[in-house]
Amino acid sequence: MSVLFKFLYSQLFVTPPVPQHDFSGETVIIVGANIGLGLEAARHIARLKAGHLVLAVRTQSKGETAKRDIVASTGISPDAVSVRIVDLSSNKSVIAFSHTIYAEFKKVDALLLNASILPFTFATNEDGVELGVATNVIGTFLLAILMLPLLRVSATIKPVHLSIVASEVHAFTTLPEKKHAHIFNALNVNSPDFERLQERYNVTKLMQVFIARELAQRVDCDRVIVNFLNPGLCHSNLTSTAKGWGSFVVETLKYWIGRTTEVGSRTLVHALSAGKESHGQYLSDCKVEPPAVFVTSDEGVKVQKRLWEELTEILENVRPGILKNIA
């Protein structure tokens, strides 16, 4: 089945089920929880009796607004919802956030990394790294690996979850930058190809799939289940910066076949409750699906190893000794 046909079939004929998992007593952290899919996933988890819900957001005021909305719509106690600040594009912010969580919580049962951006213009973070790569890849996995020790010790009765919101668009690229000696360096160049429709987003989503697969190989699923998911094309703020032809295409597709934000968020909640069969796997429509053909190809396997080696070198420079968190 072609990638396009699977995408259309899923959008038109598949409706993810309403989450029913009982989150009683569980501490759940959702990064990017003040709008869109993250907000609706947080609402579901609050409705499903979460012990404590942490809304990890970039702006305190927006986080507090989201908290009030969730409390009013679900009846969860305000004391069971916290707002904490993190910006995945900033390594300093990610490290500070991890310190905050370790200081305030003795356990974390689920961590949902859902703060990707879709850049349409070239910009860099405080360290001079292109924002899409800094946020969707480096910041995402910096936080994931920083949190692993706490996640691991939280798995006293059953495995905990580390879930990454990926995308079906990982199948729309084969990472052209792989032809360069250093992939991350090549991605940090403002090339004429940068502003092609979603090109950088597709690339970073493929990188997420590769790196999540590699990370899962190093993590014991009896303690931490690592999975990555595709929510489908949904109505959200992800494309708010789109412009020109790109904006027209994306908004037209969303209008005709886009899932509502609430329906799309069901896939996020499912990933946080999926069993060991989801470890190291790509989830789509709330079930395990094979990733793009390129991912498991001979070339893809080599690219996956290269990306892991490059990323871990970057993370070691950011936080010396961080790789010990994986063991």
Per domain, the residue ranges of the chain are 3-325
Which of these is catalytic: 67, 107, 201, 243?
201
Active site residue 201: yes
Joined together, the tokens standing for residue 296 give 């498991």
How far CA 320 is from CA of 142, 177, 180, 225, 256, in Å, comes to 12, 27, 26, 25, 48
- Residue 85: in which H helix or E strand, if any? strand 81-85
Joined together, the tokens standing for residue 219 give 């993590």
**Unique residue bearing structure tokens 């689920």:** 110
Joined together, the tokens standing for residue 299 give 């070339």
Class of CATH domain 3-325: alpha beta
Q: Cα-Cα-Cα-Cα dihedral of 9, 173, 298, 295, to 10°?
A: -50
Active site residue 9: no
Joined together, the tokens standing for residue 24 give 């009683």
The pTM assigned to this predicted structure is 0.94
Q: Write out the chain's pLDDT in tens, 327 residues.
A: 578 788 888 988 899 999 999 999 999 999 999 999 999 999 999 999 999 999 999 999 999 999 999 999 999 999 999 999 999 999 999 999 999 999 999 999 999 999 999 887 889 999 999 999 999 999 999 999 999 999 999 999 999 999 999 999 999 999 999 999 999 999 998 876 665 546 888 999 999 999 999 999 999 999 999 999 999 888 876 655 555 555 666 676 777 888 999 999 999 999 999 999 999 999 999 999 999 999 999 999 999 999 999 999 999 999 999 999 997
For residues 270 and 176, the answer to whether their CB atoms sit within 8 Å is no
Distance (Å, rounded) from C-alpha 55 to C-alpha 212? 23
For residues 143 and 86, the answer to whether their CB atoms sit within 8 Å is yes
For residues 125 and 131, the answer to whether their CB atoms sit within 8 Å is yes
Task: Tell me which residue of 318, 287, 145, 111 sits closest to 216, measured CA to CA.
Answer: 145
Joined together, the tokens standing for residue 71 give 């409390």
Task: Tell me which residue of 53, 22, 35, 62 sits closest to 235, measured CA to CA.
Answer: 35
Which of these is catalytic: 158, 178, 205, 276?
205
For residues 219 and 213, the answer to whether their CB atoms sit within 8 Å is no
Burial, 324: exposed, middle or buried (Cβ in 10 Å; 0-12, 13-18, 19+)?
A: exposed
Longest dimension (CA), the chain: 54
Q: Cα-Cα-Cα-Cα dihedral of 132, 56, 35, 269, to 10°?
A: 100
